[in-house]
Structure 1
Amino acid sequence: MTPTTRTPTTRTPATRTPAPRTRVFLATALLLALAPLAGCGDDTAGSAAHQAAAPSASPKAAAHAKAAPDALPGMPPLLDPKDVYAADRPGMLSPVVKDFPSRVYVPNTESDTVTVIDPKTYKVTDTIPVGRQPQHVVPSWDLKTLWVNNDKGNSLTPIDPKTGKAGEPVDVHDPYNLYFTPNGKYAVVMASLDRELVFRDAHTMKTVHTEPVSCYGVNHADFSPDGRYFIVSCEFSGELLKVDTERMKVVAKQKLPFDGAMPQDVKIAPDGGRFYIADMKANGMWVLDGDSFARPTFLPTGKGCHGLYVGRDSREMYISNRGEGTVSVFDFKKNELTKKWHLPDGGSPDMGGVSADGEVLWLSGRYDAEVYAIDTRTGKQLARIKVGKGPHGLAVYPQPGRYSLGHTGVFR
């Protein structure tokens, strides 16, 4: 399968050409980006620095949180070892973001813009020009900056979520998607067409290590509870990777057992026992034991299974089925699908996130130049908002959590 099968946005292999040189990121923008962490050279100091940089909205819970002895050095300990999303409850906004205006940021891949929506009024408040083919809007580890991944523009555009203003772009080649290691030390660029995982300094975005991969189309990921490894999906070759976070090395690879598999979003279960991988060609999600990395099982959800979003109570996960205009609801405790919501007049629900209060699921309509707001209690469509062409990885911001692991908002 070749990259030309990705629609409506086409990304084709090409000889690498140098990205146009953009100006050095302004000092003010750097201050808004990931703050320097003392742990870059010392793990013990790093742990203390990260605790200060990623305060919990629940001091009582934080006081009882203890780092696992085998956890990634410098990673803030989970608030609840039995629930990786325990810091994501409604109202648990970090002091860093509590005064940020609530907005939905929508990257339009074919319009080279980011549409900004007020979620209270469902009105477009701004349209921000960015680089060529913006794919995702990604919250930085320290929550202070939103990075727009300009894939074909070979750059990242920073947006200050406090003011809504964009800063100077930073040169980064093939940034299809962006993640951050749980200790906040590195940004991990999913360089899809370059066939690379590029570990960059999370403050300066300078390359630290480039890990070549043999699979094609690295795009989405999620981390183990202890942060020691992460699972990566390879869209165009139908493969999964297991990557050692600290060593920055691919340690295992497997081909999915479906002809033409096209894995997309990756999300870990609240208890950390398994990973779920959406597959838009198999029309469902794979269920993987990340520790053993054994052959996964499969659960059908709907045509074009694409995005995975965990509810604020860690009980359910919302699954967008882009090819049929539906959202499936998966119950973690029951280990089964319990509902399917149909968008009126169809649609192409793609990527997005859950509102800070957990009551609204926001999804981009990839093929229809629109965004959907869906009531998470009833599945009713609350709004359908016109945006630019090819809307993709929208970010709802701010959201609860102490720090961001990247993508459109994966918080711990």
Structure 2
Amino acid sequence: MNIRNHPMRFTLLSACLALGGISAALAAPKVYVANETDGTVSVIATDTRQTVRTVTVGAGAHNVQATADGQRVWVTNNGTPPADAGHAAHQGMSGAAHAAMATSGEVWAIDTATDTVVGKVPVGNHPAHVVVSPDGRWVYVTNGGDNTVSVVDAGAMKVVATIATGAFPHGIRLSPDGQLAYVANLKGGTVSVIDTASRKEVESIPVGKGPAQVGFTGDGRLAFVSLSQENQVAVIDPRTRKVLRKVPVGNGPIQLFATPDSQRLLVANQGNRKTPGRTVSVIDLTSFKVTASIRTGRGAHGVVVDADGRLAYVSNLYDNTVTVIDLAAHKPVATVPVGAGPNGISVTP
């Protein structure tokens, strides 16, 4: 949050000062990282660029998502394991990287004021990604082992609907207006389009090999899906629901994220453990060409951009770190140690 660029925030700051609430007004956004190998969530303070807290969650914590108001963070996992049970690390996105779990997974809610777990909801088998409706009321979880999406009532803390998708749904994102959910079906080669009002799949878009994650520009003009087995990103027209073109990127692209001005798309190139990727590709959304390749740690997996569009945060799966990138300079400015096997990543407003 850049207070200098938002005059109304001076009024808010003054009011907080008058009420003795300066600490709340000046609180910096936080980055949350799901560490799959050790079943934790790392909390990074954006002002100090240090991990300030580690939250224990369920086994195989895979993805996290902050709500629009920043009060909650949701994390997918496989539930609290038996005392003598271990769990395998996420090794990449090709082949049988995600073996379906035998028991149902869960999605947990973390209160960002205290960074404590305040709710747990059973969902489907092998939950992967999670997103939240703009009003924070509904939580959507992809279940890779069930070929479904669970719809969770955030207030009641229970599943209220289950939606069929393509084969092995993984990444999911909502359109900017919240009316549609796009789901990347990793083993189906498609993107499912879900109407969030009717809670039904209304279209299946053929996209290519190994679709891992989807995304939208903030203006809703374009949608995207990373093709982990083609080393490309497919660009989709949300109006026609057709692939417009494909853009070559690095090895094993996984997560992607558009800048708030809808001008650039960042793509994390994970590669694999034997030949790890170490870059984020920057695609210009006017020319649809890669205009920069930014160095990261080994196994760049998750990527998110802050609300001001100044900084990007990238989880490095094989280095157990997060790279902080200055998007004006197109260069890394910090490396933050986190837990083991960092995957999904999200930043509060």
Scaled by the length of structure 2, the TM-score of the pair is 0.77
2:36 counterpart residue number: 109
CA displacement, residues 177-201 of structure 1 (integer Å, 9 cap, x when unaligned): 2223445543222112111112222
* Partner residue of 2:58 out of 131, 156, 174: 131
Instruction: Verify: 1:331 aligned to 2:258, yes or no.
Output: no
Whether 2:209 is the aligned partner of 1:280: answer no
Residue in structure 1 matched with residue 246 of structure 2 by the alignment = 298
How far, CA to CA, are the matches of 1:162 and 1:374 in structure 2?
26
| 1:135 counterpart letter in structure 2 | H
1:267–1:276 contact (8 Å) kept in structure 2: yes
Partner of 2:334 in structure 1? 383
Return the alpha-carbon distance in structure 2 between the equivalents of residues 292 and 105 of structure 1.
Answer: 35
Q: Return the offset for 1:291.
A: 2.5
1:347 counterpart residue number: 298
Report how many aligned residue pairs link the two structures: 299
Cα gap change, 1:222 to 1:172, in 2 (>3 Å): closer
Q: Is the contact between residue 121 and residue 159 of structure 2 (CA under 8 Å) also seen in structure 1? A: no
Distance 1:202 1:166 in 2: 14
**Contiguous gaps of at least 5 residues in structure 2:** 1-5, 9-23, 81-104, 272-276
Shift of 1:372: 0.9
Match of 2:161 among 209, 224, 234: 209
Secondary structure at 2:242 match in 1: coil
For residues 88-146 of structure 1, the C-alpha deviation after alignment (integer angstroms, 9 at most, x for no partner) is xxxxxxxxx95654322221101011122223323222222111111112123553211
Distance of aligned partners of 1:340 and 1:152 in 2 relative to their CA distance in 1, 3 Å threshold: same
Is the 1:224–1:290 Cα contact (8 Å) retained in structure 2?
A: no
Counterpart Cα distance in 2 of 1:58 and 1:286 = 39
Provide the residue aligned with 1:360 in structure 2: 311
Structure 1 counterpart of 2:138, one-letter code: Y
Question: Given residue 150 of structure 1, which amino acid in structure 2 is its aligned partner?
Answer: N
- Which residue in the other structure is 1:308 paired with? 256
SS of aligned partner of 1:318: strand
Please state how far the C-alpha of 1:232 moved relative to its aligned partner. 1.3
Task: Provide closer, same or farther for how the CA distance between residues 147 and 224 of structure 1 changes in structure 2, counting only shifts above 3 A.
Answer: closer
Which structure would you say has the larger RCO, counting Cα contacts within 8 Å and 6 or more residues apart?
1
- Answering whether residue 119 of structure 2 is matched by residue 165 of structure 1, we say no
Q: Secondary structure at the match of 2:344?
A: coil
Q: In the alignment, is the contact (CA less than 8 A) between 1:187 and 1:205 conserved in 2? A: no
Correspondence 1:150 to 2:62? no
Alpha-carbon distance change, 252 to 102 in structure 1, aligned in 2, over 3 angstroms: closer
1:192 aligns with 2:144: yes
Deviation at 1:295, TM superposition (A): 4.4
- Richer in strand (by share): 2
Aligned to 1:319: 267
Two-structure CA RMSD over aligned residues (Å): 2.4
Q: In the alignment, what sits opposite 1:37?
A: none
Q: Is the 8 A contact 2:213 2:255 kept in 1?
A: yes
With over 3 angstroms needed to count, the CA separation of the structure-2 counterparts of 1:186 and 1:163, relative to structure 1, is closer
User: 1:231–1:240: 8 Å Cα contact kept in structure 2?
Assistant: yes
* Distance (whole Å) between structure 2 residues aligned to residue 226 and residue 111 of structure 1: 35
1:144 to 1:276, Cα distance in 2 relative to 1, 3 A: same
Matching residue within 173, 197, 201 for 1:222: 173
**SS of structure 2 residue aligned to 1:169:** strand
Q: Deviations over 1:202-235 (max 9, x none)?
A: 321322221223x222122333455433321101
Aligned counterparts of 1:137 and 1:393: Cα–Cα separation in 2: 6
Structure 1 position 391, deviation (Å): 0.4
8 Å contact kept, 2:172–2:181: yes
- Tell me, which stretches of 5 or more residues in structure 1 are unaligned? 1-56, 60-96, 400-412
Aligned pairs (5 A) from 1:387-406: 387-397=338-348, 399=349
